[in-house]
């Protein structure tokens, strides 16, 4: 908001001049006042179940370019004309862009530059109005270019909810009760690949960095599923990137859940069986020290495999799938009753078909 000056503007009439001087005096008093203490120090523990805002967790490897991500479209409702929706206080309060969401809350999504004092005044006005209307949760999405507005929001009682590369999301709970806002994403998703060729050789790698660097230990290709990427696609991509081998996804055969893994987040690690479509290896120079096809007996004989239970079980389950018809989980595409969005449902299709067949046989008899 541009500052008013008396020298460059035409001489106003007496009444507007008095209003102008009073406005400037109020602004000076506001700037001289000590900063307000935050209304709330830490949010209460939410009662609702965790909402996964994204499949990719903190600490995951990022290959995609930097881009702005918006909140899930499922929480949005009809966009509101903020200027006509809010009551201005004598023309001193600038409008803020906001939408009402589907859960009785409001999302302020800032996109344009704004003076922090003007932002603070507008926020106070809106919070007062929304409190009277019975609004409960309020969100502010601030792009990194508007980081100068963070202090004003925090002084009004907002807390950090989550941050991405290009924005920060703050939250506030208007009622004087423990909040029920969904918490930030709690897990990241990792994948490991068991790939065996017709010679009973498994595809293995040595890493250039991390805890296994320089130890000469061979391991299965692993990686992190990227935001918006399905497990079956992510594991094929990881194998291709690390080894240059083309492979076809077969099944998820097991998964592990661990906690306090990366930035205090939990970790879901899915073990997948892949069928090789090529044999030539081209290792990833940035992350992989070496890659090869190794006889499964030689891989199993490593002391590391004998000591590390996760790798030992991956090997056991992988061989059970190859040799003993172990049934894993394969994806089928499903559609929600609430939207046209497609998702993947992983299930043991073989045993389901057997069970369905036995049920139909019993009905026929």
Q: What angle do CA 71, 74, 77 make, to 5 degrees?
A: 95
Strand pairing class (137-143; 98-101): unpaired
Q: Choosing from 94, 155, 229, 241, which is the catalytic residue?
A: 241
Q: Which residues contact 17 (CB under 8 A, 6 or more apart)?
A: none
Tokens linked to 273: 């069986």
Beta carbons of 239 and 193 less than 8 angstroms apart: yes
Partners of 258 in beta bridges: 267
- Angle of helix 116-133 versus helix 14-32 axis, rounded to 10: 90
Q: Give, rounded to a whole angstrom, the gap between the first and last alpha carbons of the chain.
A: 81
- Residue 349 makes CB contacts below 8 A (sequence gap 6+) with 330, 332
Spatial distance between the Cα atoms of 241 and 220, rounded to a whole number of angstroms? 13
Please say if 241 is a catalytic residue. Answer: yes
Contact (Cβ atoms closer than 8 angstroms) between residue 338 and residue 253: no
Give me the active site residues, please.
241
């Amino acid at each position: 908001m541009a500052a008013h000056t008396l020298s460059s503007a035409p001489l106003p009439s007496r009444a507007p001049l008095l209003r102008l001087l009073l406005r400037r005096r109020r602004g000076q008093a506001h700037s001289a006042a000590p900063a307000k203490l935050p209304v709330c120090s830490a949010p209460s523990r939410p009662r609702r179940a965790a909402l996964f805002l994204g499949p990719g967790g903190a600490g995951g490897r990022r290959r995609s370019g930097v881009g702005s991500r918006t909140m899930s479209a499922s929480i949005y409702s009809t966009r509101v004309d903020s200027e006509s929706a809010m009551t201005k206080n004598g023309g001193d309060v600038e409008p803020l862009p906001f939408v009402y969401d589907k859960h009785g809350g409001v999302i302020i999504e800032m996109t344009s530059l704004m003076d922090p004092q003007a932002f603070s005044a507008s926020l106070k006005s809106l919070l007062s109005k929304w409190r009277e209307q019975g609004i409960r949760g309020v969100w502010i999405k601030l792009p990194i270019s508007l980081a100068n507005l963070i202090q004003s929001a925090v002084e009004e009682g907002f807390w950090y909810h989550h941050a991405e590369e290009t924005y920060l999301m703050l939250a506030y709970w208007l009622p004087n009760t423990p909040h029920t806002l969904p918490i930030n994403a709690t897990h990241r998703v990792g994948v490991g690949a068991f790939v065996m060729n017709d010679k009973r050789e498994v595809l293995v790698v040595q890493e250039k960095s991390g805890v296994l660097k320089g130890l000469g230990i061979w391991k299965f290709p692993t990686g992190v599923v990227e935001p918006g990427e399905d497990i079956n696609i992510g594991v094929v991509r990881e194998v291709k990137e690390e080894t240059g081998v083309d492979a076809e996804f077969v099944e998820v055969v097991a998964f592990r859940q661990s906690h306090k893994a990366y930035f205090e987040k939990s970790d879901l690690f899915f073990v997948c069986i892949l069928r090789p479509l090529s044999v030539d290896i081209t290792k990833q120079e940035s992350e992989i020290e070496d890659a090869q096809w190794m006889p499964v007996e030689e891989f199993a004989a490593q002391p590391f495999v004998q000591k590390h239970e996760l790798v030992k079980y991956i090997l056991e389950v992988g061989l059970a799938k190859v040799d003993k018809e172990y049934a894993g989980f394969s994806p089928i595409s499903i559609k929600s009753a609430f939207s046209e969005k497609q998702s993947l449902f992983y299930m043991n299709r073989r045993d389901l078909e057997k069970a369905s067949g036995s049920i139909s046989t019993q009905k026929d008899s």
